[in-house]
Structure 1
Amino acid sequence: MTTIPTEALAREEGAPSATDGAPPPGRVWRALLTDRGAALSAAYILLIVLMALFAPLIVKVSGWGPYEFDQTAIDPDLAGTPIGGWGGAGGEHWFGVEPGNGRDIFARIVYGARASMLIAISATVLTTLLGVVFGLLAGFFGGRVDWVISRVMDFLMAFPALIFMIAILSALPAGNRATLLVVVISLFGWPYLARVVRGQTMTLAQREFVEAARASGASRTAIVFREILPNLRSTIIVLTTLAVPGYIGTEAGLSFLGVGVVPPTPSWGQMIASSVNWYSVVPTYFAIPGVFLFLLVLSFTVLGDRLRAVLDREGAR
């Protein structure tokens, strides 16, 4: 569980080449769609996104909400074990019910997708914004600005992020936990992107087209937004795509440890934690949220890797 894709992605030399700009989006998408792994990954991600967006409608069709208890689906004489095979799965409860309380697993999976995607994407957006801004400032202006920002990045990257996330979230009130999760994850995540952006910006700032813009009297703002930032687009897109699975895993892990999404709000990590005491009796209760989580993380990882390969190939043309 981590707040970043991998440590290697934080190295400037590991980032995709950004000095020639990004190829046309249409060409990139066509290349991705011809790749079976990328296409399947994109299809699964789209499925989860649609599931999250239309969660109320989906659970209305299924007939059970995420907070409803069906006491008739569990056996009180067996400590609330679901009645029937596969955890009580059938026409009424498509994925079965939670042991002990009878809540519908399908409904909670659907709403759990909403929590996971909302937190992961929001954290990715905030992390990207902070990383790009501070990376550009450090790489373009250099000097004291670079020194201060670099020391802050080193300071945050030196922390064992997971331990401090648990400590911070445990100490804060459980109010709006989703917002707190986004802020805390982003706090420890932005330096990795910023370090890559900083290195690329320092390289681009020495290129001929930037020197030509300076000679023509262009302002620093114009140089940053018209000359440097467009050439960082490929790097930012790839690292952002690869960051999402890390944040999904982080949210699930924190919820598993009890400091993430607060019950009874559904969360896949929280469901996995609740299933630990039941996995030998009702293995499907553990397997279903685990499979959904695994496939989502895998899909984003595969899509990010294939996107990086496509951008590298197109940029070399």
Structure 2
Amino acid sequence: MTIPTTGLTVPADSGQETAGTTPQLRASVLRTLLRDPVAAACLAYIVLVLMMAAFAPLIVKVSGWDPYEFDQSAIDANMGGIPLGGFSGSHWLGVEPGTGRDIFARIVYGARASMLIAISATVLTTLLGVVFGLLAGYFGGRTDMVISRVMEFLMAFPALIFMIAVLSALPADDRQYLLVVVISVFGWPYLARIVRGQTMSLKQREFVEAAVASGASRSTVVFTEILPNLRSTILVMVTLAVPGYIGTEAGLSFLGVGVVPPTPSWGQMIASSVNWYSVVPLYFVVPGTFLALLVLSFMVLGDRVRSVVDPKGRS
């Protein structure tokens, strides 16, 4: 569930980044993504999944099946609930073995659960990481010592074991919100560590020292001089964090401590397919393919964004 940080370096800026450079950076990143066929395909798939998540009720209404609706006519009760067919006009991606629930409808609603948890965890992780990283890097001293010790503890802690223990002990109600909190608690130190290091470097730069000498307050220095220079790094870290958290949610749901049934989740669907894989492999292949492509798409975009933001840092 950790954020990949290998090889991530500070962009080699020769001077202060100003607000005027931000649109240029966004334009450069977007241009690179659209000109690269692979990156453009990955971006299109991510947008497709986001649209599925946003308009899930409307999409399943068009398909004609609710994700919680059983279709006993689509399964053979005498054979233990084996589906009577695969793809069809009635069930576009087939039905779930044993229950007859529509796989397409559950995939659409599963995208909503996965993306909601991953994006929410990324937002919370980014806020915590940036705030604590700035505090530790800029103020130093005891503030840095306390925050650094907390980061080291959380990074050294067996996060997966703790997540399984905590989530299995907590009530199933509002499990999605609990997942966001637990994932964020163990995720923010990886961004905070990088923000801290860059802040310590930036506060020694001439433009920061000039702002301090001119009488600017600490908050002004942090938010107008240092934070703008961290935007590119934060952008890269965010694109790398989202696929990690998607995989974390899927893994926890697979282990039975994630999204609680009957709420659809891609990881939960993969876990349910284990008992049916030898008989109905399609039930594993469909959610597994959607999940793998989403994680891969985010990883490819993260690599492309990194190549634009920090071309010298690529190995």
Specify the TM-score bucket, using the shorter chain as the normaliser: over 0.9
Task: Show the counterpart of 2:184.
Answer: 186
Shift of residue 314, structure 1, vs aligned partner: 10
Shift of residue 313, structure 1, vs aligned partner: 4.1
Task: Show the counterpart of 1:76.
Answer: 77
Task: Show the counterpart of 2:286.
Answer: 288
Task: Show the counterpart of 2:296.
Answer: 298
Instruction: Verify the 8 A CA contact 1:18 1:200 in the aligned structure 2.
Output: no
Cα distance in 2 for residues equivalent to 1:7 and 1:33 = 25
Task: Show the counterpart of 2:216.
Answer: 218
Matched, 1:17 2:18: no
Q: Percent identity?
A: 75
SS in 2 for 1:97: coil
Instruction: Verify the 8 A CA contact 1:193 1:239 in the aligned structure 2.
Output: yes
* Partner AA of 1:197 in structure 2: V
Cα distance in 2 for residues equivalent to 1:31 and 1:295 = 20
Shift of residue 5, structure 1, vs aligned partner: 2.7
Q: After the TM superposition, which of the residue ranges 306-315 and 63-72 deviates more from structure 2?
A: 306-315
* Partner AA of 2:259 in structure 1: V
Shift of residue 160, structure 1, vs aligned partner: 1.1
Instruction: Verify the 8 A CA contact 1:139 1:198 in the aligned structure 2.
Output: yes
Task: Show the counterpart of 1:106.
Answer: 104
Cα distance in 2 for residues equivalent to 1:259 and 1:7 = 27
Q: Runs of at least 4 residues of structure 1 off by over 6 A?
A: none
Cα distance in 2 for residues equivalent to 1:7 and 1:231 = 18
Cα distance in 2 for residues equivalent to 1:241 and 1:108 = 26
Instruction: Verify the 8 A CA contact 2:29 2:308 in the aligned structure 1.
Output: yes
Q: After the TM superposition, which of the residue ranges 305-314 and 172-181 deviates more from structure 2?
A: 305-314
Instruction: Verify the 8 A CA contact 1:276 1:286 in the aligned structure 2.
Output: yes
Shift of residue 27, structure 1, vs aligned partner: 2.6
Cα distance in 2 for residues equivalent to 1:153 and 1:314 = 28
SS in 1 for 2:310: helix
Q: After the TM superposition, which of the residue ranges 21-30 and 88-97 deviates more from structure 2?
A: 21-30
SS in 1 for 2:105: helix
* Partner AA of 2:9 in structure 1: A
Task: Show the counterpart of 2:66.
Answer: 65
**Could you list the per-position Cα deviations for residues 197-244 of structure 1 after superposition, in whole angstroms to 9, with x for gaps in the alignment?**
000000000000000001111110000000000000000000011000
* Partner AA of 2:88 in structure 1: G
* Partner AA of 2:44 in structure 1: A
* Partner AA of 2:172 in structure 1: A
Shift of residue 142, structure 1, vs aligned partner: 0.2
Task: Show the counterpart of 2:239.
Answer: 241
TM-score of the aligned structures, taking structure 2 as reference length = 0.95
Task: Show the counterpart of 1:134.
Answer: 132
Shift of residue 16, structure 1, vs aligned partner: 4.1
SS in 2 for 1:8: coil
TM-score of the aligned structures, taking structure 1 as reference length = 0.94
Q: 1:297 to 1:61 in 2, by over 3 A?
A: same
Unaligned runs of 5+ in 1: none
Matched, 1:154 2:156: no
- Choose which of 121, 125, 131 in structure 2 pairs with 1:123: 121
Q: CA RMSD in A?
A: 1.4
Task: Show the counterpart of 1:166.
Answer: 164
Cα distance in 2 for residues equivalent to 1:37 and 1:211 = 43
